Every structure is written in C-alpha cells, then in structure tokens.
Amino acid sequence: MIPTVAALAIGVVGFSAFEAHVINVTAHIENALNVPVKEIEFGTVFPQEQFIETFNVSLSDSFLSAGRVDDVVYKIAQKPKYKGFLHTDILFAFDTTGSMGGAIEDAQDNAIAIMNALKAFNPDAAFGVAHFEDYNFLPYGAATDKPYELTQPITTDTTAVTTAINLLALGSGGDGPQSYTRVMYETYNDALSGIAWRAGAQRILIILGDNVSHDDDLGTDLIYGNAPWFPGDPRLTGVGLTKLDPGRDGIEGPTPADDLDFQTTLKGMADNNVLLYYLSYGTYTDNWQWWAEKTGGSAVDAISAGNIVDAVKGLFLYNDLCSHLSKVKNPDDRSLETDKPSYDTDVTVPHDPGTIANGYLTKAGGDTEDIWDVDLKVPCFQGMCDQTYDPTVYGLPLDPKLEGKDFGCDLWIEVTGISETQTFQCNDKVDNDGDGDIDYPADEGCESPTDNTENSD
C-alpha cells in the first residue's frame, strides 16, 4: 500500500492548479469645501486700530453634484504660524572648547531632537554639522584646536547628520572668547567653506555655545551703534586684550586684511540672508539675542528653557496674532437658520487661543456658502496705552519688547463631519399635499427646505 499512496500523492501535485483574481479598486478624491482665500495681509497696523477682512467657505462643485451627501460640519481653528520657507537649510555649529565639557552631551542630544522636530513640520529641511574651538596659537587656543571645521555638509540624510553630531569631541580653546566670528563668516562664503547650501534655500546657522567672539569692542560699533550693555566691558569677558578674529589665514594683525570684525561679519550674514540662532549654555543669552535679531534670528537659554525642542521651535514662530483675531459671520450672511448659532458660532476678541469657530453648510437647507469676517483689533504696548484702552475689546497689552515685530496666525478650516442626503417633503420635488405647489418656497406649508411636511395645518 505504501507505493500506491506515494503514487497518489505525486498525482495530486501533478494535477494542482493556481489562479488569481484581480479586483481593481479606484476612487476619485476631492475636497468637500472650497476656500478661495489663501492669505490675509493686514500690513503695518497701530494700537487700537480695527480692520476687517472677509473670506468665503462654500461647498465644492464636486460635493454639490454628489447625490448621496448633503451637509458639511466644519470648524475654524487657529494655530501658531511658523516662519515657513520653501527650502530650509540648517547648519549646527558646536562650540567644542573645554568649557563646554559639562554641556556638550546635552548640546548633542538637543541638536538631534531639534533636527527631528524641525524635520517633522518641514520635511524638506536639510542639515549640516560644524564645530570650532579657536585658533591654534596663544592666547587664542591650543596647538590642536580648530577655528572652524565642517564635518557634515548640508544633507537631507538625518542619519548622517546624527552620526556627525555624535562623533564630536572636545578640544581646548585657550582664552575665554572663541572663534564664533569665523564660523559666522563661513556661512556666506560657501565657495570655500563647502557647506553646500541648496539653491534658493533659507540659510540658518544654529550655534550651540557658552561664550562670545573675539573682537576689539563688542559693545559699540559704527554699524549697529551702542549695545544695551555699553559702555561696560567692551570684551564682556574681562580676559586681557581681545583682538579681532584672525580670519582664514590664521594670522593676527592689521595685515593681511582678512581679520574679521564681529559686527561687520554679523551684517554680512544679514546681507546674505543667513539667519543666526544661538543656543546658550553660558551667561550671554541676552547679548546673543541682541546680535541674532540683527539677522532676523533669536537666542534661547538652553539651560533654563525646560523643553529645549519647544523653545527652539518657538524661535521659528511669528509672535501670536491669533488671540487678537475675531472670526464672526458677516452681517449679510445671517438670513437662514443654519447661519446662526448653534450651527454657525462666532469667536470674538479677547479669547483663549484654543477657542474655535464652527460652521455648517447644507444642500437641502439651501445654505451652501458661509461668509466670515476676520476682525483684527490691535492691542497697545504695556505702559504706552491710551487712557480709553479697553482690554475687553482689544485684549491684554503687549510686551514692549515686541514693538516693531511681525505677528502671525494660521487659520485652519477643518471638516469635522459629512452626512448623507436626507429627503424632506419641502425639498423632494413632489407635491405631497396635492395643493398644486411643490416644495419650499412655492408651497406655503413649507417654512424651510428642511421642513418635512407641506401641510400648513
């Protein structure tokens, strides 16, 4: 029997068949809403002014023509506005002098976390890595020190950037000031520095350090005038005579003429559209803030910031405009029942940043478009408000430090629900009560398109 069974088994294999059935699945996807306005620009405004701009939210043509769906519920949420760039290139530059010994690991971890967070809201962002100690002669630094070294050119490969950050090692650094100016200079002399900024990208330098630059006077200059700490110690550090940065040739002195002045280099960054951001692991946060803002950048105290990722993301935000914007229905768009609460609900100033406005559109109800007013009520600055200033109208006064700054807010119109078509007697194209009149408004028994009886009794 064993040979017979074997032959039968072989026979089954020999007569087996394989087949496949393919089901083609397709879908045509379109938006339910049409929101033609993409940007509202109020321009330069002044305290206690009020401006109104209008935008429309309507059912899309595709939604109107789709027979199985009827109404859309949506909300108008507000979110912080990031300073968006089509391409963003970020160079992390680490102070790897001995004084960073207690902070370098935190700086490395923070940079990686910052990179991942920035990549999340800007997937096209690219990154690079550099480090610096100082020039390799006294009093600047030790023989093994480097005033600038690029270890990873700009790339979208975050794994390569992470590796370059983790491979950083401490050097010496000699005196207090370091070669920050040299690093800044390299950002707008890319032909020789090799950073490889992408064409058209917004260039950003993030320095992670704990000191200041070499310079003959960090307190005043002909470009930016007196700093807030002038006429204090012009070198801030109190360490001997601090000279200009020796520059690429590494030779100090008036000749050759490539020695770098700090404020001139700072202006060079601004002129070449390189933003400077500084993560401070020392005591010079306020100083770097004053310098960084000259390029459109900013500084943050990395030691006291708490969540450093949120703090750095905040550097890329416009100042808050959301809490000063009302979102209210236009007076000319309140005729239908669905144009009023609880269908459409307004948000007025002042309000909590998380407060949302709500909207409702319905084909059956004949409400296929909403008109909204964005009402900006401009607050004053603390200590500079008119006696008639009413915070219940304009909101709380602003910090005076924000005068002359840019404010922004993103309004998000988000669909929260879509319902299937319902049939109502007053919108079904049928003479349900036999009086010769069909549907709203022809039939006097109909009070609205969503009335479910044509009888007037």
Residue 448 clears pLDDT 70, i.e. is over it? yes
pLDDT (tens digit per residue) in 120-160: 878 889 999 999 999 988 888 888 999 999 999 999 999 99
Q: Is the pLDDT of residue 457 over 90?
A: no
Long-range contacts for 427-430 (Cβ within 8 Å, ≥24 apart)? 427/364
* Cβ pair 149, 132 in contact under 8 A: yes
Name the amino acid, one letter, at 315: L
Q: Provide the pLDDT confidence category of residue 231 given band limits of 50, 70 and 90.
A: low
DSSP strand pairing (274-280 vs 202-209): parallel
Two structure tokens written together for 336: 């239908």
- Tens digits of residue pLDDT in 35-72: 998 889 999 999 999 999 999 999 999 999 998 899 99
Q: Where along the chain do its domains lie? A: 48-80+321-420, 88-317, 423-457
What is the rounded CA–CA span in Å between residue 278 and residue 298?
A: 7
Res 306: pLDDT: 73
Buried/exposed code over 62-97 (b: 16+ C-beta within 10 A; e: otherwise) = ebeebeebbbbbbebbbebbbeebeebbbbbbbbbb
Average pLDDT over residues 316-345: 90
How far is 315 from 61, CA to CA, in rounded Å?
Answer: 41
Crossing angle of helices 158-166 and 104-121, in 10° steps, is 170
Q: Residue 268 is encoded by which pair of tokens?
A: 């060079």
- Structure-derived torsion over alpha carbons of residues 235, 239, 241, 243, reported in degrees to the nearest 10: -60
Q: By the 8 A CB rule, do 283 and 312 touch?
A: no
The yes-or-no verdict on residue 319 having pLDDT over 90 is no
The stretch 230-237 carries a mean pLDDT of 58
Q: pLDDT tens-digit profile of 70-127?
A: 999 999 999 888 776 668 999 999 999 988 988 999 999 999 999 998 888 788 899 9
- Rounded to whole angstroms, how far apart are CA atoms 338 and 358? 11
CA–CA dist 319, 408 (Å, integer): 6
Q: What mean pLDDT is predicted for residues 185-209?
A: 91
* Range 3-24 burial, b when 16+ CB lie within 10 A, else e: eeeeeeeeeeeeeeeeeeeeee
Cβ 377 vs Cβ 395: under 8 Å? yes
- The CATH homologous superfamily to which domain 88-317 belongs is von Willebrand factor, type A domain (3.40.50.410)
Q: Peptide bond before 231: cis, by omega within 30 degrees of 0? A: yes
Q: What is the DSSP string of 300-368?
A: EETTT-SSHHHHHHHHTBPEE-GGGEEEEE-TTS--SGGGSTTTSB-B-SS--TT--EEEEEETTTTB-
Cβ-contact 303, 232 below 8 angstroms: no
Q: Predicted confidence band at 5 (pLDDT cuts at 50, 70, 90)?
A: very low
| Rounded Cα–Cα distance for residues 421 and 66 (Å) | 10
- What confidence tens digit (pLDDT) does each residue in 213-222 have? 988 788 878 8
The predicted-structure confidence for 354-365, as pLDDT tens digits, reads as follows: 889 999 999 988
